[in-house]
A and B are shown apart, each in its own frame.
Chain A
Amino acid sequence: MSSSTRNSVNSDTMTSHSQGAPLLELRNLSTHYVSAAGTRVVRAVEDVSLTLHARETLGIVGESGSGKSTLALTMLRVLPPAAQIVSGQMLFEGEDLVQKSEEDMRKVRGKRIAMILQDPMASLNPLFTIGDQVGEPLREHEGASRKTAWEKAIQLLKSVRIPSSETRVTQYPHEMSGGMRQRIVGAIAISCEPRLLIADEPTTSLDLTIQAQYLNLLRDLQQEHGLGLIFITHNLGIVAKMCNLLAVMYAGKVVESGPVSRVFNTPAHPYTEALLSSIPRMTEQRQRLTAIDGQPPDLSNLPRGCAFAARCPRVFARCMVEEPPIFTPSPGQTARCWLAAPNTAHASSPQVSVGAL
């Protein structure tokens, strides 16, 4: 099962998945960090709209500080005190999560939406046995007894392919290898059979072989349980392997989104293009790595116009003065770039059809 064949299968079947009510629909979601004095506002997530159906995998990519992780925290409403959701809706199975009370939200976390954190190696409490920790969400959300939770924990460890799970449940995290701890965190995430799994850079701390194993495991779990999966990463290789949808974030906004194959083959935003060309290729003789020049803008003091204009190789006058709305260069693909405007003339064209929001 090479990644390329699977990938094409994914993109072909994607259209059939898209039918029916979406699992998660973000509408114009914005999350800002506000300084204590209220004078500085960091627009970490700004006007993000995304749709995900069950069994689909969405990859969210972007540089550090582009708002990927804040978006993930927003989806579970576990933001630090300084951050708040200022506008937008998050429809999860038809319910708006933004409007939910904290107590109701707590019942969603871990039960209906689960999350795998950036450093799963450190995600386990050193003082409790594996069995206790894997069973904890069951006891918390489903009121399972200690015994039932323990037995379920053994089953869960089996499902994440941990050998001799009966012995492993009685052990402590420090007795496990990194890959095992990783899979245990995966077992905790699926313990309450969630509908949506958010993985925030789940493989950054793993070596490549373990990484591949883990990604396969996650994909198998997704297919078994029919999960929606959101992958937050800066590794485009993982996106190609795992995802059928892609959203590229830059300076808090989704600058381009769409089916992975389409975005990879015909990127509509110069930033996506630059990201794709910065992947080192084995075939090329040139040793120097391509990078995108410049720095992302200060999110508390965004420039006028397009946030990427200062680094964009194809910038033109309009980019500096007017912020591009969302265009739809091809069905299912969106881009926040004037180049993607229907009448592609770079000259000033006052009539702009704004993409459906």
Chain B
Amino acid sequence: MSTTAAPVPIAVQAAPRSRMARLGDVPIIPCTILGIIAFTAVFADFLAPHDPQFGNLTARFHPPAWQAGGSMEHIFGTDHLGRDVLSRLIFGARVSLVVGFTAVIVAGVIGTTLGIISGYLGRWADQVIMRVTDTWLALPALTFAIFLAAIVGPSEMNIVIILGAVYWTRYARIVRGEVLSLKEREFVRLAIVAGASKWTIMRRHILPNVINSSIVLATLMLGVVIVTEASLSFLGVGVPPPKPAWGVMLSDGKQGLMVGYWWLTVMPGTCIMLMVLSANLLGDWLRVKLDPQLRQL
């Protein structure tokens, strides 16, 4: 008896679905929020009603427009130097977005690469990378960042490098763990017995399988990185002072909180919260979308 019938060409549903169609249900709210932040960051020069770095000292601590004493001139009020809060928020988006995203990407690239190498090659490579990671993690992240910042000096570029250098270990740890289980999977063994080289396996079989975890971790790290950037800015080793960063604004405004100048902290705080929340929601959605088994659902 023959085993299978002759291959009858059955029209199995029109196959090539476009990549965009697959993305389908983009989460609207997070995308809108991130879109607005990105838009204001790009077009800050045109959108900001006032100069973010220079204020009118006679117009200090003006409340937001809807509160008694406020005016439409300064919709979100002014700070202790009479600078327009809205303008500073708009320019601050640029700093937070650039520093946050690039630092997360730098950390992610370093950490994922080293994590894969550590997990897949094992032996001495694993020992070296994991001992370095242990040492790194033993140091408090902020103290370590301050230490590095004191060495290289404050600038936006340096902040990115410092945050990348401090936080790559988180990725390395998680990625290594995944690689350890992945490399025992049958498809990796099949690649080995099919004669694929170590680098081919790491690039073609391991990396695509850990990239999702890296992306999810990146969205979680975004919040941490923005807060760390703010902390460094507050301590004077972050973004240099006249430049508006949400972290700097938060720190500057915290003394005013006790005497009722709530808008100085609530405004940048809300911005940070919305950005981190949106990034997390987007990351969650992306994780599901990137998994071919969940994609069909």
Contact = CB atoms under 8 A, between A and B. Distances in A.
A106 to B, nearest CB: 5
A123 interface: yes
Nearest to A215: B3
Contacts of A84: none
A108 interface: yes
A6 interface: no
A109 B201 CA distance: 14
Interface in A48-94: 76, 78, 81
Nearest to B208: A127
Contacts of A174: 292-293
B192 A109 contact: yes
A185 B4 CA distance: 17
Contacts of A222: none
3 smallest beta-carbon distances between A and B, as pairs: A110-B194, A110-B195, A109-B195
Interface in B174-221: 185-187, 189-197, 200, 204-205, 208-209
A117 B189 contact: yes
A111 interface: yes
Nearest to B200: A140
B242 interface: no
Contacts of A114: 193-194
Contacts of A216: 3
A353 B209 CA distance: 58
B144 to A, nearest CB: 34
A127 B209 contact: yes
Contact of B3 (A124, A185, A213): A213
Interface string A162-191: 111101001110100000000001001000
Interface stretch (B6-14, B149-157, B261-269): B6-14
A127 B200 CA distance: 15
A119 interface: yes
Interface in A99-120: 106-111, 114-115, 117-120
B292 A172 contact: yes
A114 B197 CA distance: 15
Given A81-B123, A122-B186, A106 B293 contact: no
Contact of A117 (B15, B193, B208, B209): B193
Nearest to A140: B196
B195 A106 contact: yes
A324 interface: no
Contact-residue size bin, chain B (C-beta under 8 Å from the other chain): 20 to 34
Given A114-B194, A136-B196, A164-B10, 16 more contacts: A76-B193, A78-B193, A110-B193, A115-B193, A123-B187, A126-B209, A136-B194, A137-B195, A140-B196, A161-B3, A163-B4, A163-B8, A164-B9, A165-B7, A167-B15, A174-B293
B69 interface: no
A199 B176 CA distance: 31
Contacts of B191: 125, 136
Contacts of A161: 3-4, 7
A106 B191 CA distance: 11
B93 to A, nearest CB: 35
A323 to B, nearest CB: 33
A217 interface: yes
B10 A124 contact: no
Contacts of B187: 122-126
Contacts of A185: 190
B186 A127 contact: no
Residue of B4, B190, B197, B204 with most partner-chain A CB within 10 A: B190
B24 interface: no
Interface in B1-46: 3-4, 7-10, 12, 15-16
A216 B187 CA distance: 24
Contacts of A127: 208-209, 292
